[in-house]
Structure 1
């Protein structure tokens, strides 16, 4: 970009279809580890780092563009001032947030609200629909997805009595599994698991139980039982597996399609042109290396494909997770 005294114009040597690479933001968590450094080569801060916000325009972690004509600007700035990059995507904020979570320990037992509850009770926030692609799971690892109480009263009683073995739906987890976590689903990633998370751009989490853990300052993290009782979906049927059963067609597996996002796993062996006829797409390289539109990428690279690019040329040996929002209408 060129500063023209309070405004910006586009540098003519760049194009509207250039990929938008983002600088990850790292968050320390009581349950975090060091796998983001050892497995992905990120330069992370000291301490237990649990989350890499890889593509985000959320106020709690607004990613900076690392190259091209928008170098140094934030993703939220582009959404507001260069919305042509995102086609006709609606809303007052960039709608998705792409994370990598490294769970060395267990995450809290938690649940997220839907859009309407979050709008009313969380100062206009989006709700939090999310999904997990499991990048790594230690042998014997388990995960919590769902619960067994039939109504609010039974749920509250089981929490009060600490009947976690009866309440929680605990299932095995394996590398390559996938889980869709709708609002109202009780859940917890457990130790020994690393996931790529695609979610709505929201940071609202209601904790039901945190194992009575004490933080570095000697305090316990806040619990949110009242809100959790409000939003848990008591009618949802618990899952028994996260195994991906969707077919792979020409290297592409449709992992999820819901009103908030569409998520595909894409395998690249050699060269291919990936159709991207979306308002925009978020891309994460989860294995291997190669090039995207001629730009070198490797495991841990993340970028946004702008609206002007309808095809993404790919070369190399790598696996990607590609997410976009469904077009309205």
Structure 2
């Protein structure tokens, strides 16, 4: 079967085709035309951490004919001072830190910044260029460019290029520690810093691809993001191998056949995914989080924004163990634990929706009735020390998993997917907070032992979630709600402790939905193709294919989903998630 899954979905922006440029030569020509003046002009090029400053220094700065060029990082605190300031956030743990509440100015020496400002003020004629992460702290800019890139690309640079964290010479640290520092500190600090800059930037510089930059005017960027909130859209999925990864996605999504496996597909994680905006012949790749930062009310809706701020609270991703192995046996922290230990205000409740399954597939979920907590913890500790394998058959429920089953996993429930399943994971967004209890004696792809967090895990396991409770509350809680000619609606969860509601619609005829003032996230879980349109023609028809996740912004209101293409006359199904009121 030919793969139909679109790995590079775009939003075509209307009305700004002449406001984007590709390549350093075109970018330099545009900027020089703006900078031509008889008086002093200060060009500020502020950057997200991970932008290749050397490329800017080689390809951009020489063409600007500046009389003074300043790298703002010369005023940054040294590595030792930063380490002392951040020690409480970094912790000694390899994976977990504490979320930072720092402002970016705290990372700079105030006296050195003041000296930079004096140098700028001393120039009376010509172009002054201030560049680097935090450049706007030295001067607001007569012309402001923000150089950006998605977090997923930053992670790739950490792996491929051994990129250090910002302000640290730590390229030889393992990837988990560098990711931890980025997740808990850098990305939080720089998102606070860049949000007001994006609202007033004259240009955004897309630095995602090496030596292939793109530039878009700030006006066009903001118009493109605003247009995105009025229509269905998809973010750019990314795929990653893992020690337990399978083969299903490789075939279904036309991925690199030479890769050993693919474990994850992050199909809707706006904090890390890209968003592709097309302006005529130029495609701009930005963090999809920029949309959340700039237009949260139209995207999320008033109630969701009031509750979560500029965080997209719903995550859809895939876990592929078909032809692979069991996931790590794990548990997620309950709300009070994640608040007290990590500074996160909500936790990672989730569910497993089974897209495909081999005949012997199972889900591990909850403890067996009669389990002695101390006996199970002792067995887990012995397994972690390499003394013996964890006796999962003694302690954990193994529940058969079939296509279209839905398993609910509120925080505190021990769980994992077994081999042979293609899982659509529907969860809250704090995606790093997984306490591994047992990892089947594996090492990671980096050759290092995979970290196990028994000390955290034993604090949050809910031992009351035994066999009967799990079957009564977490397995296929399917509730018929409504039906008419050509469709029926079912409630499939989630558990009452989880803030996400899910509904499944089976349909062979058009089905009308409404966002009810909150963002909707959907996946086409059955059928080859569907079309999403507006009953009032408010947006252009939007086509989706099997297993594609798509977002309906709160501002859309009413929308309709119908079979399309070869699926006309057949039965399809979507799973829809939103935040309960």
TM-score under structure 2 length normalisation: 0.52
The equivalent position to 2:454 in structure 1, one of 207, 211, 225, is: 225
Q: Specify the alignment match of 1:252 in structure 2.
A: 489
Which structure has the higher relative contact order (CA within 8 Å, separation 6+)? 1
Deviation at 1:248, TM superposition (A): 5.6
The equivalent position to 1:279 in structure 2, one of 518, 534, 537, is: 518
Matches within 5 A, 1:166-205: 166-202=394-430, 203-205=432-434
What CA distance in whole angstroms lies between the structure 1 residues aligned with 2:327 and 2:366?
A: 15
Q: Cα distance 1:139–1:150, how it changes in 2: closer, same or farther (>3 A)?
A: closer
Q: Cα distance 1:286–1:156, how it changes in 2: closer, same or farther (>3 A)?
A: same
Deviation at 1:177, TM superposition (A): 0.9
Q: Is the 8 A contact 1:56 1:98 kept in 2?
A: yes
Whose radius of gyration is greater, 1 or 2? 2
Deviation at 1:322, TM superposition (A): 0.9
Query: Can you give the 5+ residue segments of structure 1 that lack an aligned partner in the other structure?
Result: none
Deviation at 1:79, TM superposition (A): 1.2
The equivalent position to 1:65 in structure 2, one of 275, 279, 285, is: 275
Q: Specify the alignment match of 1:35 in structure 2.
A: 248
How many correspondences in the alignment?
Answer: 324
Deviation at 1:116, TM superposition (A): 2.2
Q: Is the 8 A contact 1:20 1:67 kept in 2?
A: no
Matched, 1:290 2:530: yes
Q: Cα distance 1:12–1:108, how it changes in 2: closer, same or farther (>3 A)?
A: closer
- Residue 65 of structure 1: SS of its match in structure 2? strand
Deviation at 1:21, TM superposition (A): 1.4
The equivalent position to 1:207 in structure 2, one of 433, 436, 441, is: 436
Q: Is the 8 A contact 1:253 1:264 kept in 2?
A: yes
What CA distance in whole angstroms lies between the structure 2 residues aligned with 1:42 and 1:292?
A: 26
Query: Can you give the 5+ residue segments of structure 2 that lack an aligned partner in the other structure?
Result: 1-12, 20-200, 204-217, 383-389, 534-540
Q: Specify the alignment match of 1:322 in structure 2.
A: 576
The equivalent position to 1:22 in structure 2, one of 235, 238, 260, is: 235
Matches within 5 A, 1:1-16: 5-6=202-203, 7-8=218-219, 9-10=222-223, 14=227, 16=229
Deviation at 1:217, TM superposition (A): 3.8
Deviation at 1:160, TM superposition (A): 4.0
What CA distance in whole angstroms lies between the structure 2 residues aligned with 1:222 and 1:48?
A: 21
Q: Is the 8 A contact 2:300 2:312 kept in 1?
A: no
Specify which structure has the higher proportion of strand: 1
Matches within 5 A, 1:59-138: 62-67=272-277, 72-83=285-296, 84-88=298-302, 89=304, 90-92=307-309, 93-103=311-321, 104-124=324-344, 126-138=346-358
Q: Cα distance 1:215–1:41, how it changes in 2: closer, same or farther (>3 A)?
A: same
What CA distance in whole angstroms lies between the structure 1 residues aligned with 2:579 and 2:226?
A: 29
What CA distance in whole angstroms lies between the structure 1 residues aligned with 2:374 and 2:396?
A: 16
What CA distance in whole angstroms lies between the structure 2 residues aligned with 1:12 and 1:229?
A: 44
Q: Cα distance 1:44–1:309, how it changes in 2: closer, same or farther (>3 A)?
A: farther
TM-score under structure 1 length normalisation: 0.89
Deviation at 1:42, TM superposition (A): 5.2
Deviation at 1:159, TM superposition (A): 2.5
Q: Which moved more, 1:72-81 or 1:170-179?
A: 72-81
Q: Specify the alignment match of 2:548 in structure 1.
A: 301
Q: Is the 8 A contact 2:225 2:291 kept in 1?
A: no
Q: Which moved more, 1:87-96 or 1:178-187?
A: 87-96
- Residue 159 of structure 1: SS of its match in structure 2? helix
Q: Specify the alignment match of 2:172 in structure 1.
A: none
Q: Is the 8 A contact 2:229 2:553 kept in 1?
A: yes
What CA distance in whole angstroms lies between the structure 1 residues aligned with 2:397 and 2:428?
A: 24
Superposed CA RMSD in Å reads 2.7
What CA distance in whole angstroms lies between the structure 2 residues aligned with 1:278 and 1:25?
A: 29
Q: Cα distance 1:196–1:13, how it changes in 2: closer, same or farther (>3 A)?
A: closer
- Residue 19 of structure 1: SS of its match in structure 2? coil
Q: Is the 8 A contact 1:40 1:300 kept in 2?
A: no
Q: Cα distance 1:191–1:150, how it changes in 2: closer, same or farther (>3 A)?
A: closer
Matches within 5 A, 1:255-270: 255-257=492-494, 258=496, 259-270=498-509
